[in-house]
Chain A
Amino acid sequence: MKTYLLPSVKITVVLLVALSGLYPLAIAGIGKFTPGHGNGETIIYKSRVVGYAGIGQKFTRDDYFWSRPSAVDYNAAGSGGSNKGPSNPDYLKQVEGRIQDFLKHNPQVTRAQIPAELVTASGSGLDPDLSPAGAQVQIARIAKVRRLTVGQVTQLVNSHIEKPMLGCFGPSKVNLLKLNVALDELKK
C-alpha cells in the first residue's frame, strides 16, 4: 500500500495547484480581455444597468414583450425547469391557464397562433429569448398599448431577429431584453 499511497498524495497536491489553481487563474486573466471583462455582459439603459444580455428577466407588463413562463420566476440566484412530465394532468391544466391568460391580454390573437414557448417553462428558468413567432404574436397588443402602428412594431421586431449561426445552423431567435429596451427608446 505504501508504494502507492505516498505518490498518490504527492501527485494530487501538485495537480491541485496546477489544475484547480493556475488553470482557472489563467482563464480569468484572459477573461479580462473579453467584452464583459469576465463578469458578464450588461445592458445599459438611461445610464443604468437594466440586466445581463444573456440572462432572461421577467416581462409581464402589457407594454413589454412578455418573456416565457419560468419555474424559478426569473430569480437568477438559482435556476431550473419545471420538471413536469408531458402527461402530468396538473401541468396540462397550468398550460391551459396560461393559454387563456394570454388570449385575455391579446384578444387580437387566435389559439392556433400561440407558439408553444409562450406557455411552457424553459429549462433554466432564465431563457433570454423568444422565437420570432413568439415576438410577432405580441405585436398587435404592443402596438395598441403603446399607441404605435403595427408597421412600426413589426419593423422593430424584424430588426431584432437574430439569424441562425452562420446563417444555416440552429434556430432564429429574438433577445427580449434588447427588444424591450429598443421599444422604450422608440417612445422617447
Chain B
Amino acid sequence: MNTEISGVIFTYLLTLAIAIPLGRYISRVFKGEKTWLDFMAPIERFIFRFSGIDAKKEMNWKQHLFALLTINSVWLIYAFICLMAQGHLPLNPDGNAGQSADTAFNTAISFLVNCNLQHYSGESGATYFTQHFVFMFLHFASAATGIAALVVLFRALKDKVTDKLGNFWNYFLKSITRLLLPISFIIAIIFAFNGMTTSYAGKTTFISMQGDTVHVSRGPVAALVAIKHLGTNGGGWFGANSAHPIENPNYLTNTVELVAQCIIPIALVFALGFFLNKKKFSYVIFGVMTLGMLLLVIPTINAELNGNPAIARMGISQPTGAMEGKEVRFGPVNSAYWSIMTTIISTGSVNSMHDSAMPVSGTMMLLAMMVNCFYGGCGVGILNFYIFIIIAVFISGLMVGRTPEFFGRKIEAREIKIASLIALLHPFIILVGLAVSSYTLVHAPNADWSVKPGSWLNNPGNHGFSEMLYEYTSSAANNGSGFEGLGDGNIFWNYTTGIVMILGRFLPIIGPLAIAGLLANKKYIPESAGTLKSDTSTFGVMIFAVIVIIAALSFFPSLALGPIAEHFSLK
C-alpha cells in the first residue's frame, strides 16, 4: 500500500520536474528566441511556403479567430466524411464498417474539440486509417489549436497597447513542430519498448492454456497513445482505453502516460510567467490550481483505499482498496490519482472504469470537470481560468470601490458581460442537457431508438442519474471520459452531446480571446499605490472563492441528487 502512495507522489514530482523547464522552453519558442529545435525551421518554412502562408503577418484577435474557426471547420467536414466512409478506405485489416451518420457526427466533433468522447469501440468502430488519419491527426491539431489560442492571450497581456497579436499559423505550426511532435516521438519509443504494439498487422488468434480460441485486436497503437496523452485528448485505441493491457502495459507506461498528460498544461502556467516576465503571477495561478487539485485528489484516494462498504459487509477483504473496474498492475491509489488528473486536465483517458468508482470519487471527478480549469486542457485550461480571473478582478474592484484593472487595463461593462456569459455557459449547457435527457427517460422510456431510453442506464437509482450528469459534464468540459455504463451509442446521445461539445469548445475560446483583444487595445495605466496587485496570495484566494461559488455551487443540486445521495445510501 505504501508503495502505491509513493508511486503517486513520485509521478507528480516527476511531472513538475519536467513541466517547469518545459514552461521556460515554451516561452522561448513563442517569443521567437533560440532553442535547440531550431533545425525544424526549414521544415516550417517549407510548410508555410507550400500552404501560401505569410507567417510574419501580424493578426488582430478577430483575424486569429477567423483563421482558427476556418481550419477547424475544414477538419470537421474531413473527419465526418472519413468516418462514414472508413469501411471503403485502405488500412482496414479487421474489415470494420463505416460509422452511422449520428455516430460520425458525434465522433468527428468529439475529436475536433479535444474532447474524445467515444460512442464507439476502437476494436470494431474504427479502422487503422481513421485511427491515424482522423483521430491521431486531430489529437495533434486540436491540442495545437488550444495552445495557439493561448499564445494569443499571452501576447495580449503584454503591457504594449496594440492590436497586433502575432500570427495564428505560426503559433499553430510551432506548437506541433517544436512541442507536440518531438515529445510524442520520444514517448512513443518508450511505449514501443514496453510492450505497446506498433505494427500494422491486424487481429491475431491464439489457443489459450485452457483451450479457448481467443482473437486479439492489435494495431499501431504506440504512436497514437503518446499524443493522446501529451495533447490532453484521451481518445484511446481500444474500448477500455488506458486500462487495456496493450494501451498501458505496465506501471512504467502508466507513469509516462500520467506525466505526459499533465506536463503541457502545467508548463503553460509557468510559460505565462516567463513570457510576461511575471513569474510571481504564474506562481499564484499555479498555487490556486494545485490547491484545487489536492482538494479533489485526496478524498478520492481515501475513498478508493477504503474500498466499497457494501462489499466490506459481505466479509471479504479489500487489502488494496476498491477493485471493481480497476487493474491489478496499477492499483486503486494510482487509479484514483489518474481519475482526478484526467478530469481536471480534460484528457479523459481512463485506466480504471469511472462508473464503478466510489460515490465520493465520482463527486470529485464531476467537480473537476465542472471547474475545468485546475491546470485544464492544452491551452484552454488557462483560457478558462482567465475568465475567472476577470470576474475576480471585477468583484475585488467592487469590494474596494475602485475601477477594476488587470495588468494595467480597465475592465469595463463589455468585458465583464462576455466573461459572465462564458462562465455561465458551462453550467447552462450541462444542466439543460441533463434536464432534457431526464425528461426523455421518464416520459418516453419506450421511444423507438436503437437503445430505448428506458434501457439507457446501467445502474438504478441515484447512480443512474450520475451517469447522465457525467456524460454532459464530460462533453461540456471537452473531457471525454464517461460513466461508460450509459447506453450512449444512439441518436439521442450522439446529437445532444455533439452539440454540447461544440458549444463547450469554441465559445470558451472566442470569449477569452475577445476580452484579451479588447483589453490589449485599451490605454495602458501604469501601476500605482491603488492598483490591485494580481500576484499576491490574497488575489489567489479571491480567484479560488470565485471558482468555488460559480463553478461548484451552480452544480450542487445535481450533485446532491446523484453521487452525494448514493454516498449516503451506501453507508
Contact = CB atoms under 8 A, between A and B. Distances in A.
18 contacts: A16-B133, A16-B137, A21-B132, A34-B198, A42-B206, A60-B210, A77-B215, A81-B243, A81-B353, A95-B311, A95-B314, A116-B308, A120-B322, A123-B240, A123-B351, A127-B327, A131-B328, A165-B255
B216 A40 contact: yes
A17 B327 CA distance: 36
A170 interface: yes
A1 interface: yes
A184 interface: yes
Nearest to B172: A11
Contacts of B460: 88-89
Contacts of B310: 86-87, 92
B203 A77 contact: yes
Given A12-B141, A113-B317, A169-B255, 20 more contacts: A5-B70, A7-B52, A10-B51, A30-B189, A39-B199, A50-B209, A52-B245, A53-B195, A74-B212, A78-B217, A79-B121, A82-B325, A84-B458, A85-B485, A116-B320, A120-B325, A124-B244, A124-B245, A171-B3, A181-B209
A80 B352 CA distance: 10
Contacts of B210: 57-61, 64
A54 B246 contact: yes
A138 B492 CA distance: 47
A122 B326 contact: yes
Given A11-B47, A20-B136, A92-B310, A168 B6 contact: yes
Nearest to B10: A169
A106 interface: no
A24 interface: yes
B326 A24 contact: no
Contact of B251 (A82, A117, A165): A165
A16 B356 CA distance: 38
B356 A115 contact: no
B245 A126 contact: yes
Given A12-B74, A131-B320, A57 B214 contact: yes
B250 to A, nearest CB: 8
B80 interface: no
Nearest to B462: A87
Q: Which of B204, B307, B325 has the most CB of A within 10 A?
A: B325
The 6 closest A-B pairs by CB, nearest first: A31-B198, A83-B485, A123-B243, A85-B463, A81-B353, A79-B240
B198 A82 contact: no
A75 B206 CA distance: 11
A19 B136 contact: yes
Give the interface residue-count category, chain A.
Answer: 35 or more
Contact of B192 (A20, A27, A54, A119): A27
Give the interface residue-count category, chain B.
Answer: 35 or more
A123 B353 contact: yes
A52 B7 CA distance: 26
B566 interface: yes
A54 B195 contact: yes
Interface in B184-223: 184-185, 188-189, 192-193, 195, 197-201, 203-204, 206-210, 212, 214-218, 220, 222-223
Q: Which of A11, A85, A126, A180 has the most CB of B within 10 A?
A: A85
A20 B137 contact: yes
Nearest to A69: B324
Contacts of A58: 208, 210, 212
A76 B214 contact: yes
Interface stretch (B259-267, B329-337, B428-436, B528-536): B329-337
A56 B314 CA distance: 27
Contacts of B353: 80-83, 123
A169 B12 CA distance: 12
B195 A130 contact: no
B4 interface: yes
Contacts of A171: 3-4, 251, 320, 328-331, 334
Contacts of A123: 240, 243, 325-327, 335, 350-353
A4 B74 CA distance: 11
A144 interface: no
Contacts of A79: 121, 123, 217, 238-240, 243-244
Contacts of B207: 48-50
A184 B316 contact: no
B209 A45 contact: yes
A148 interface: no
Contacts of A133: 317, 319
A119 B316 contact: yes
A142 interface: no
Nearest to B335: A123
